[in-house]
Structures are given as structure tokens and as C-alpha cells.
Amino acid sequence: MTSIASRRPKLSPPEGELAPGARQARTQRLVRAALGRHPIGMLFSAPYAFFIALLFAYPLGLAVWISFHRYFFAAPGVSVPRPYVGLANYEAVLEDPAVRQAFLNIAIFMVINVPLTVILSLLLATALNAVIPFRAFFRTSFFVPYVTASVATVGVWLFMFSSGGIVTNVLGPLAPHPSWLINEQWAMPTIAIYVTWKGLGIFILLYLAALQSVPKELYEAAEVDGASWWHRFRSVTVPGVRQVTTLVTLLAVITGANLFTEPYLLTGGGSPNGKSTSPVLQIYETGIEQNHPDFASALGVILVVGVLLIVGIQQLVQRRQA
């Protein structure tokens, strides 16, 4: 039975006003939209968010701002004009042949370093995952270059790859002339091989961890079906570690984009003739040494966008394949 009261039509509040319940619900909705279902999560993540904001977001925001202005570093309290210059800094960067050469150099670097890193670390991890003698020794050996300071390993490589070095002497007439690090064609590939060798340890470790999670039954089933080692590797191992391959590729691309120490130390800052310089080295030269942070910031922004594009394309391809 329906009472008269319940049949009475509800009165709407005047326009612009909300009933107390509706107001509360709306506030709750806004709070939830801003802070999520569990606001306490925001509290827990606040320290890291603050860290990210201070050390990554702030410098990135500042770099973007600087890249659109005429800017140089000045002492505190010194008033200097910082006019808005639109895309002038970006134009200067893109017109600079040295910058174009630097991007070409890291493209060469990535073409060598990224596949080499992925293939070598996967193969070596697979080998180290098998029951082989001195497994622990080999695992440690591959990891040693990664934990050794670049300055020390660079010294060894300079010694090995100089004109009278052991590599040149062993190869004899097959060695390039002029020697590796002062040869226009070989300087960047040598740096790429050095970086691959130095970073291999950590990537092997990532693959070793991934290999533990590939079900043994898959290998056994493949073996029962008569699959060879190569077939088992291609059809079980490679798909089984796909996620790590994505990560390794990503990290290798980022390493290439951030290349600085190796050309700075191995080839004296980009020799020969700028053939081993990198965009980050250029950022250092123009931004820090020559006090042109506006140009350097524009170059940095282009580099970040470039890396994001490569990573985005890679993710897209990966998803389609999956």
C-alpha cells in the first residue's frame, strides 16, 4: 500500500542549490576523483612523488621553460633580461651540423649496442642457466665490468685499442688504420662494443631471473616432440623472456641516449672530428662550459622527445606482436 505522503511529488531545491545529501555525495565524488579510492595511498606515495617532482619534474619543467627563452646562468640577485624567443633555440639546435652529427652518432651506437646487448645477454644467460662447470665464476666474471668504475675500465680499453695496443697487435694487418678510437669509421662502433661489454652483467642477471620463470614442462614437452636446442630456444626461451627483452631494449635505448662518459673518456670528447660525440656531450659543452643553457635545454628536450618516440614505437610493435 502506498501512502499519500509517499505519492506526493518530491520538491526540487531551488536552482543552484543542492540537497544536503546530494552535496555530500558530490563532495565525496570530488575527493575520490582527486585522491582515489584509498586516499591513504597518496600519503604513502607522497615522499616518492615529492622526490620525483623535485629532482625530475622540476628540472624538466625548467628545461622546457629555458628552451623557449634567451637564458644564461647568472649569480643570485643579478637581474638579467630573459626574453621569450619562441622556437629560436630549437631552430639553432636543428641547424647545427654538430648536433646532427651527434644524433647520427648515437643512431649508429644504438644500431650496434641494442641488438648486441639483447642477443649476447640472452645467449650468455641461457648458457649460464644450464648446468656448466664454474657457473658461479662465470656469473661473477660477467658482472665485474658492470660494478667497476668506468674510468678504470676505460683506461684498460685505451691501452688495448691504442695503435700499439694488444688488440691492434693481435689483428696485425687486419686492424684499422688509424687505430680504433681515432678512426672515423671505428670510433663509435668501438664505444658501442665497450658499452655493451660493460653493461652486459646486469642484463644477464635480468635474463637469468626471467629464465627461472619459464616452465620446465615446456622444455620437456618440446624435447618429447623432438625439438632441437635451437628450436627449444626459439620457441620456448625467447617468448618466455619477452617481457625482459622489452625492458633490456628500453634500458639499452636510454643508455644510448644518455651516452656521455664513454666518448668523453675514450675519445677525448668526441674525436675524431666529432664522429663520436653525443647529444649529452653537446649539452655539457654548450650548457655548462659555454653558458648557453637555452640551446642546451632545447637539445635536451629534443632528446627526451626522441627517446619517448622510440620507446613508444617499440611498445606499439611489442603489443601488436603480443
Q: Which stretch binds other proteins (CB under 8 A): 2-10, 135-143, 150-158, 233-241?
A: 150-158
H helices of the chain, where?
4-7, 20-35, 39-52, 58-67, 88-95, 97-129, 135-147, 150-161, 166-171, 187-212, 216-224, 229-232, 238-240, 242-257, 261-266, 279-283, 293-321
Regarding 36 and contact with other proteins (CB under 8 A), the answer is: yes
Determine if 261 is a binding residue for other proteins (CB under 8 A). no
92 vs 218, beta carbon nearer other proteins = 92
- Nearest distance from C-beta of residue 130 to other proteins, angstroms: 39
Q: Is 40 in the site for other proteins (CB under 8 A)?
A: no
Q: Does 262 bind other proteins (CB under 8 A)?
A: no
Residue 271 within binding range of other proteins, rule CB under 8 A: yes
> Measured from the CB atom, is 207 or 264 closer to other proteins?
264
Give the DSSP letter string of 187-250.
HHHHHHHHHHHHHHHHHHHHHHHHHHTS-HHHHHHHHHTT--HHHHIIIIIHHHTHHHHHHHHH
**In this structure, are residues 80 and 70 in contact, taking their beta carbons and an 8 Å threshold?**
no
- For residue 10, the surrounding DSSP H or E stretch is none
Query: Of 39, 86, 115, 178, which one interacts with other proteins (CB under 8 A)?
Result: 178
Which of 133-141, 237-245, 287-295, 301-309 is the region at the interface with other proteins (rule: CB under 8 A)?
287-295
Q: Does 182 bind other proteins (CB under 8 A)?
A: yes
Q: In whole angstroms, give the CA distance from residue 270 to residue 101.
A: 10
Stretch that binds other proteins, among 112-120, 189-197, 214-222, 288-296 (CB under 8 A): 288-296
Upper half-sphere CA count for residue 224 (Cβ side, 13 Å): 6
Stretch that binds other proteins, among 112-120, 238-246, 262-270, 313-321 (CB under 8 A): 262-270
Q: How far is CA 176 from the centre of its chain?
A: 32
Q: Please select the residue that binds other proteins; options are 85, 88, 94, 98, rule is CB under 8 A.
A: 98
Angle at 46 between CA 40 and CA 49, to 5 degrees: 140
Kindly tell me which residue out of 22, 46, 74, 166 binds other proteins, with binding defined by CB under 8 A. Answer: 74
Grid cell, residue 160, equals 688495448
Segment 169-175 long-range contacts (CB within 8 Å, at least 24 positions apart): none
Q: Binding of other proteins at residue 33 (CB under 8 A)? A: yes
Nearer to other proteins, 82 or 139 (CB): 82
Taking the complex as a whole, the smallest distance from the CB of residue 252 to other proteins amounts, in Å, to 25
C-alpha span between 109 and 115 (Å, rounded): 10
Taking the complex as a whole, how short is the minimal distance between the CB of residue 316 and other proteins, in angstroms?
Answer: 21
Which is nearer to other proteins, 136 or 151 (by Cβ)? 151
Look-up of cell digits 666474471: 141
The residues of the shown chain that bind other proteins, judged by CB under 8 A, are: 30, 33-34, 36, 53-54, 57-58, 60-62, 64-66, 70-78, 80, 82, 98, 154-155, 158-159, 162-164, 178-179, 181-182, 184, 264-274, 277, 285, 288-292, 294
